[in-house]
């Protein structure tokens, strides 16, 4: 029995989908524990590209059961659309292969409307959300006025929960409650065969010796507690969120795998010390195809930030790191790595500043390493990497104090270097 948590180490889009898919080959269960369809996890197999939003990234193996656990927020319309897109691509998913928590909260059309209303009300302080209703749905969950999957199976309760929220007042516009109630009752009937007590299901699997991956979405810097608040999402992507989001005890966890890009990207607003608003940033965006999987927005790009990565190691307790997209740096003559920040008052810090103004106004201090200037995208053996690429990986590992167990050099499964068995 092994239980591994996969967590984004930066601001999301680190390549969690690819890493989960690779590790899923050897496991029985892949569980999504938080977030919703704000996530976009890409898995490339052969000539097919799968963009997964709610369905766990283990779905391409018949031998894997996928679980959407209690910590996730589910938009049923999006989920059924995703299942039908998968079907069109030859992946048919039965209720045997997909289990959905009865306790997961449900995104209503009103949550989506409120998400965009709140963003426009914020004006120049907007967060740049994905507009999927994620924030308003989690807000209702914490406010104890949310709708859960179990409620979709009980028409009276569902109608009462939806009506009591007084959506026309919240949204400042008339809404058709009856229509939404009817359509969500219908979703309830479709979702019913998939619904389980997911904590019980996952714990029984672990206790019977099964291998489990808990797949996080977003990333550490988007965490509601530990991220760059208020420019964050509304859940806990960090490893601690996996236990509450899946209903398992921390002593069951064997590995906490941080997925870190060899540089950094961010979608949406908020501070980003190593951001490159120049030709180099443009080159990273172009070479890394850095456009959002969910919203297609151009991702902001910058150099690797080891202050942030060390912080991610700490708050997640990473036991190892998978370093992704190293091939994107193939073209660079030299590569900068941020190892400290200079604050506005002139002091130099190596721990992540928690004060929002300090972080927003800090300046990155870089060390510069040599590039390798060769195509590494077909290398599968660590020893074959150019010495400067090995040095880059070793430098990162040494500075953050955890081993790198995998290096990804392309979006396909075979474009992966395994350093140590995870």
The two tokens of residue 285 are 């965006």
- Is 251 assigned a catalytic role? no
Asked whether position 42 contacts ligand GDP by CB under 6 A, the answer is yes
**Rounded Cα distance, 20 and 413, in Å:** 11
For ligand GDP, the binding residue among 70, 293, 316, 405 (CB under 6 A) is 293
**Of 208 and 296, which CB lies nearer to ligand IMO in the complex structure?**
296
Q: Which is nearer to ligand GDP, 41 or 165 (CB)?
A: 41
- Site for Mg ion contains 288 (CB under 5 A): no
CA 27, chain centre distance (Å)? 20
10 Å Cβ neighbour count for 62? 9
Per-residue contact string for residues 245-284; x = within reach of ligand GDP by CB under 6 A: ----------------------------------------
Instruction: Identify what 258 binds: ligand IMO, Mg ion, ligand GDP, none; CB under 5 to 8 Å per kind.
Output: none
Please give the residues from 92 up to 111 whose contact with ligand GDP meets the rule CB under 6 A.
none
Choose among 408, 406, 400, 402: nearest CA to 419. 406
Q: Cβ distance 66 to 97 under 8 Å?
A: yes
Among residue numbers 299 through 328, which ones bind ligand IMO (CB under 6 A)?
none
* Dihedral over Cα of 416, 213, 7, 80: its sign: positive
CA distances from 97 to 62, 195, 212, 315 (A): 8, 12, 14, 32
| Cβ-based nearer residue to ligand GDP, 224 or 262 | 262
Give the C-alpha distances (Å, rounded to integers) separating 162 from 139, 148, 274, 307: 15, 11, 44, 44
Question: In the window 124-163, what residues touch ligand IMO (CB under 6 A)?
Answer: 127-130, 132, 134-135
**Residue 44 in contact with ligand GDP, rule: CB under 6 A:** yes
Q: How far is the CB of 227 from ligand IMO (least distance, A)?
A: 9
Q: How far is the CB of 41 from Mg ion (least distance, A)?
A: 6
Of residues 184 through 243, those in contact with ligand IMO by CB under 6 A are: 217-219, 222, 233-234
Closest contact distance (angstroms) between CB of 409 and ligand GDP is 5
- Say whether 53 is catalytic: no
Beta bridge partners of 255: 4
Which of 31, 327, 362, 385 binds ligand GDP (CB under 6 A)? It is 327
Q: Does 411 bind ligand GDP (CB under 6 A)?
A: yes
Segment lying near ligand GDP (by CB under 6 A), choices 137-145, 355-363, 392-400, 406-414: 406-414
Q: Taking CB within 5 to 8 Å according to partner kind, which of Mg ion, ligand IMO, ligand GDP, none is near residue 132?
A: ligand IMO
The one catalytic residue in 21, 41, 151, 211 is: 41
319 binds ligand GDP (CB under 6 A): no
CB of 129 to Mg ion, least distance (A): 14
Q: Which tokens belong to 144?
A: 């104890």
Residues that bind Mg ion (CB under 5 A): 13, 40, 293
Residues that bind ligand IMO (CB under 6 A): 8, 11-13, 38-41, 127-130, 132, 134-135, 217-219, 222, 233-234, 267-268, 293
Residues that bind ligand GDP (CB under 6 A): 8, 12-18, 40-42, 44, 288-289, 293, 324-325, 327-328, 408-411
Which residues are annotated as catalytic?
13, 41
């Amino acid at each position: 029995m092994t239980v591994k948590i996969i967590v984004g180490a930066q601001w999301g889009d680190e390549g969690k989908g690819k890493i989960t898919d690779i590790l899923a080959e050897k496991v029985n269960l892949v569980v999504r524990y938080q977030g919703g369809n704000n996530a976009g996890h890409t898995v490339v197999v052969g000539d097919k590209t799968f963009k997964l939003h709610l369905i766990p990234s283990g779905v391409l193996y018949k031998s894997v059961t996928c679980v959407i656990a209690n910590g996730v927020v589910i938009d049923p319309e999006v989920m059924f659309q995703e299942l039908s897109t998968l079907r069109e691509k030859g992946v048919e998913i039965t209720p045997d292969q997909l289990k959905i928590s009865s306790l997961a909260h449900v995104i209503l059309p009103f949550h989506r409307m409120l998400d965009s209303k709140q963003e426009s009300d914020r004006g120049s302080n907007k967060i740049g959300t994905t507009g999927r209703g994620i924030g308003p749905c989690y807000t209702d969950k914490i406010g104890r006025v949310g709708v859960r999957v179990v409620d979709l199976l009980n028409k009276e309760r569902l109608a009462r929960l939806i009506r009591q929220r007084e959506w026309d007042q919240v949204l400042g516009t008339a809404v058709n409650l009856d229509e939404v109630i009817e359509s969500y009752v219908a979703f309830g009937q479709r979702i019913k065969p998939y619904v389980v007590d997911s904590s019980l299901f996952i714990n029984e699997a672990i206790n019977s010796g099964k291998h489990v991956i808990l797949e996080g979405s977003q990333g550490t810097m988007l965490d509601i507690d530990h991220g760059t608040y208020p420019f964050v999402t509304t859940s806990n992507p960090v490893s601690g969120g996996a236990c509450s989001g899946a209903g398992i005890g921390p002593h069951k966890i064997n590995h906490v795998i941080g997925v870190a890009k060899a540089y950094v990207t961010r979608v949406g607003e908020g501070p980003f010390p190593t951001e490159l608003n120049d030709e180099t940033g443009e080159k990273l965006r172009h070479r890394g195809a850095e456009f959002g999987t969910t919203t297609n927005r151009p991702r902001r790009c910058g150099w690797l930030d080891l202050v942030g990565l060390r912080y991610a190691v700490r708050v997640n307790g990473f036991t190892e790191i998978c370093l992704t997209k190293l091939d994107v740096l193939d073209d660079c003559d030299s590569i900068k790595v941020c190892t400290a920040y200079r604050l506005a008052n002139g002091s130099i810090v190596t721990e992540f500043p928690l004060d929002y103004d300090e972080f927003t106004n800090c300046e990155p201090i870089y060390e510069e390493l040599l590039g390798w200037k060769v195509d590494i995208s077909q290398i599968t053996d660590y020893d074959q990497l150019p010495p400067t690429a090995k040095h880059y990986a070793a430098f990162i590992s040494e500075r953050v104090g955890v081993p790198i167990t995998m290096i990804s050099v392309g979006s396909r499964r075979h474009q992966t270097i395994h350093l140590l068995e995870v």
